[in-house]
Structure 1
């Protein structure tokens, strides 16, 4: 069910994020960067800047291709190796989500790309299945998808970790909104800032597409899960059923299949 919900989010974001050639190419490079395990923060910044420069200077297609290929090469060299033997404390949880909350941009589902690469692949604090469980909990509880951080914090460091994760991921938003608000009107009128945000949107979309594929492999493991996913897709895209009901129904089906 969660995979279908994320696919819906990717589809909705794509309608706004892919505006032209530069944003489409940035999206494709972002997907490639995800699969080579490049640093996602660096991907956001570099590709966002690349789109901004391309769109403002109106360079030709050949130059555009060269710049984005150069950026993708830099991303390939920037991938981090996984940490081993890390001890997870509530302080570590707070600092991790503070970092994520400070740089995360786009739909809340972009959070999944950060969590998959940082928690599952690099630090190996969680498995992909645990990440899917956390997203499911975040989906059925009130509030934004970011409440996933609460559940992950609990898995890693108990009640203190849950509190630390929640504060860590939301705190930067309050600080940044207060700091940036006086400059909002000027930023909206700036073509440089506008095009930079276009680039960030496109890269966010690419990261979401990559994590959807990765989590799909972890979730679709047999005939039952495949059928549930197909029925969920019909319910979401054809009948516009709320994702909350879908997640609850998916949980009920999974429980019933286990008991039977």
Structure 2
């Protein structure tokens, strides 16, 4: 009863317009340390922390911020942390919230990476990772199903997704597929506005050129030697064009780091996802 009353009071009160830098740091340090499960889980925990518990934002403001993060590339949960930090404590809050949310995961991943490189070849560790891989595949498949329910709302979008999946299977470049898919959807809406029904020809035309260009790109970049600058440019590229769920990142990493450049094996990529 007391919790219900507290929730009603928090839901009805005015949002707290400013917060101390210390409060912002503690909240996002906590979230950055315990928020496992991907952007969707991070967003849910932020909602619980800054809307329900602390009343920093109203539900409407939180949803507006979430909508804004979906309009720009990059990881949604990190962008939400930065937005909320800026909203509560100005420019210093922006920097502190971002750093406190990102750094714990950075240290944890660094520790896991060291353990993997040092002990990953041991039979006990290899056996544990081998047992985790089916679970990771199941999680990714579940995420794909959930994303498809949201994204594929019409038959035309389903058709574009099917064409893109087929082209990706034959080695088309993922960036060109994204551009081609976007142009195909825009062209489809334009054709529907003009009451034209021959959408299949447009889908084929807008889907064929990414396949050919993607094959040429893949042929010209396979086997690239590893280096810090190529690694930097890869993640800069991905960070500049990646929208939506972090699961989309897996497609880029597999296409470039595994198939195109050979920096990782399929096993190492799955182990990284498991960790």
- Please, what TM-score do these two structures have when normalized by structure 2? 0.47
**TM-score, normalized by length of structure 1?**
0.50
Q: Look at both structures and tell me which one has the larger radius of gyration over its CA atoms.
A: 2
